[in-house]
Amino acid sequence: MAPVKNGRHLFNEVPVGYPVPGKTTVYDESQTIDLETVPLNGGILIKTLSFSIDPYMRGRMRAATKKSYSPPYAIGEPLGNHGVGVVLRSENTSFKARDHVWAFLPFQEYVVQTDVAHVKLLENKENIPWSNYVGAAGMPGQTAYLGWKIFSKAKKGETVFVTTGAGPVGSIVAQLAKLGGLKVIASAGSDEKVEFMKKIGVDIAFNYKTTDTVKVLEEHGPIDIYWDNVGGATLEAALDAANPYARFIECGMISQYNQTSPYGVKTLMNIVGKRLSLNGFIVSDHMTPENVKEFYDTIPAMIAKGELVFLEDKKYGLDKVGEAILDVQSGKNHGKSVIVVAEE
């Protein structure tokens, strides 16, 4: 068989402020691959199906000299993130052709993966859509499930405030909180998202662009748990609205990722007076075999039964990665942002 195009989406330059599609990142079709003869060196050949586009990716679009928790993307190389693929060929006994897998993969149509230590075989007994495995049944779902389990110390009857409540993490947190008997206040950036949050059971759903967060929390708080995906002025308001001994789960600060000058939070005195605890949280720290097993034993079944509801915002083709990233950074996506590279 002749070589085929292996489309890739590359990191092109470090952005200042919001990333610009076609400038910060570019789609490239210069490479080809021979699917039958490409050497596997004991590994597997994966055809990628779906990629996750996540807020944290902005943090990797930085100068290589700047330290952070995740490594920077390399200029001229493909972006990468968690994705689902199907095995085309295998030289490893743990995988065979037609298996579906979940792994951290470069943004390209075909990937030869020699190190398969972190490639997870997806059984999908529940027969949910493969794209779910980069969302509610993937890293964002694990973030919501494990962060809530480990840090919330939630008690029935308490009140939680969830930011980005229509997003892939926030919407799962909100539903887990409702299942636990909590009152849920949740914010998002459009009326459409507010409608979705109401549908999944959020008690107080509001559009932070048209409704004052401070007033909502004054009226419907105080809060015992704050799930922070946004930081900045919202975190400032949550600190003022916290009950004594409230727990703050610091999962992300997307309002700050594209700011050249970060917002100064003025309400930190509440931490002492109210004995608050704030815990920074990155899901990869907690992906122990026990936690991961518990997650996959629990969440896909809940999705299949309709106990967890979520939205996916699918874009088709690796050439759409730049737009998808900008949508996520600016809050224009409706639900979990997924790049569909191929249906099967």
Binding stretches for its own copies (CB under 8 A) = 59, 68-69, 231, 235, 244, 250-253, 256, 261-282, 285
The pair of structure tokens assigned to 132 is 């779910």
* Residue found under tokens 């590279």: 341
- The distance of Cα 118 from the centroid of its chain, to the nearest Å, equals 18
Q: What is the nearest approach in angstroms of its own copies to the Cβ of residue 26?
A: 27
- Whole-angstrom distance, CA of residue 202 vs CA of residue 160: 10
Q: What is the nearest approach in angstroms of its own copies to the Cβ of residue 278?
A: 4
Q: What is the nearest approach in angstroms of its own copies to the Cβ of residue 258?
A: 12
Q: What is the nearest approach in angstroms of its own copies to the Cβ of residue 253?
A: 5
Closest CA to 182 of 221, 162, 155: 155
| Residue 54, CA distances (Å) to 4, 76, 110, 136, 232 in order | 29, 20, 21, 12, 19
Residue 236 or residue 312: which is nearer to its own copies going by CB?
A: 236
Closest CA to 108 of 136, 77, 130: 77
Residue 93 or residue 261: which is nearer to its own copies going by CB?
A: 261
Helix (H, G, I), strand (E, B) or coil at 299: helix
The pair of structure tokens assigned to 25 is 């990142």
Q: What is the nearest approach in angstroms of its own copies to the Cβ of residue 154?
A: 18
Q: What is the nearest approach in angstroms of its own copies to the Cβ of residue 263?
A: 7
- Enumerate the β-bridge partners of residue 105: 81
- Whole-angstrom distance, CA of residue 44 vs CA of residue 35: 11
Q: What is the nearest approach in angstroms of its own copies to the Cβ of residue 336?
A: 20
The pair of structure tokens assigned to 178 is 């409702």
Q: What is the nearest approach in angstroms of its own copies to the Cβ of residue 282?
A: 6
- Whole-angstrom distance, CA of residue 194 vs CA of residue 202: 9
Residue 45 or residue 328: which is nearer to its own copies going by CB?
A: 328
Residue 209 or residue 275: which is nearer to its own copies going by CB?
A: 275
- The distance of Cα 39 from the centroid of its chain, to the nearest Å, equals 33
Closest CA to 208 of 178, 236, 172: 236
Residue 33 or residue 150: which is nearer to its own copies going by CB?
A: 150
- Whole-angstrom distance, CA of residue 229 vs CA of residue 252: 4
Residue 237 or residue 340: which is nearer to its own copies going by CB?
A: 237
Name the E strands within 42-188: 44-52, 80-90, 100-106, 110-113, 120-122, 159-162, 183-188
Q: Is 264 exposed, middle or buried (0-12, 13-18, 19+ CB in 10 A)?
A: exposed
Residue 6 or residue 234: which is nearer to its own copies going by CB?
A: 234
Residue 144 or residue 321: which is nearer to its own copies going by CB?
A: 144
Q: What is the nearest approach in angstroms of its own copies to the Cβ of residue 151?
A: 10
Residue 103 or residue 239: which is nearer to its own copies going by CB?
A: 239
